Amino acid sequence: MTVTVTVPENDQTRPTVDMTLSAVSSLPSAFAGLHIKGKTKLKATFEAESEYSTIKSYALTAGSARASGNPGTTGFLLNTGKVTVKGTVYDARGYSTSVLQEISVLSYETPSVVPYGKNKAVVCERCTSDGTPNSGGANLLIQAGRKYSPVISNGVQKNFCSLKYRIKASTSEDFPGWTELISEGSGSDEISKVITDAVPSVTTSYDVQIMAEDDMGGEHTLNFIVPTDEVDFHLREDGHGA
């Protein structure tokens, strides 16, 4: 004789589960514990047991982010605002129990170099000492701005951004270090600046880079070529060529 005993699925026979969440990232310590769009992942650690079976698998969802295993770590969080996190534990019978928690995911966008004022583009060109554009100028006019995500937690600003530049003759292999145009603590997000004798030779072209960089390591760089105004011209000895 065969006797089949079935354990019904109900609150007493389903697995029990607790879930602990933490933020995972390689960001500086100032951002520890924060959930930030595109910069942090979510880790879930489960404590689960089933009185009538064994635990077989774990699943985690946080908006569009997914994970499995214990602990389970999602990809980067992509939803912002209040995000519901659902952790589910399955036992060997297929019975499951879910637990819900809510996290706040802060918005973040990579910083960018943007035009100054009402300009349609970032300006980087030769000029006179008073900033008047001039193809034969030895000075450099830079007009640019920065755009970045402040990242505010509990009323405290966490993320700051600087705007800087570097310049070299086009024939040189390496750039020197960066020079600051707008500091992290500056109250203005744009600048119009004349850099004296930055492009001293009118027969030499120069490479210029302008970069916005924030505290989370996000950066955006624009590249410019400041052309020559004159070129050396040599005639052949016979006068029939150059």
- Residue 123 pLDDT > 60: yes
Assess contact for 29 and 62: CB atoms under 8 A.
no
Q: Tell me which residue of 205, 123, 160, 143 sits closest to 31, measured CA to CA.
A: 160
CB of 72 within 8 A of CB of 22? no
> Is residue 61 predicted with pLDDT exceeding 60?
yes
* Per-residue CA distances from 204 to 43, 125, 173, 183, 198 (Å): 54, 14, 14, 30, 12
In a 3-state reduction of DSSP, which class is residue 31?
Answer: helix
Which DSSP state fits 171?
T
The one-letter amino acid code at 107 reads S
User: What mean pLDDT do residues 215-238 have?
Assistant: 80
* Residue corresponding to tokens 């951002």: 31
pLDDT at residue 233, rounded to an integer: 46
* 45 touches 18 (CB < 8 A): no
Q: What is the pLDDT of residues 128-183, one digit of tens each?
A: 999 999 999 999 999 999 999 999 999 999 999 999 999 999 999 999 999 999 99
Q: Work out the average pLDDT over 79-101.
A: 95
Question: Average pLDDT of the chain?
Answer: 92
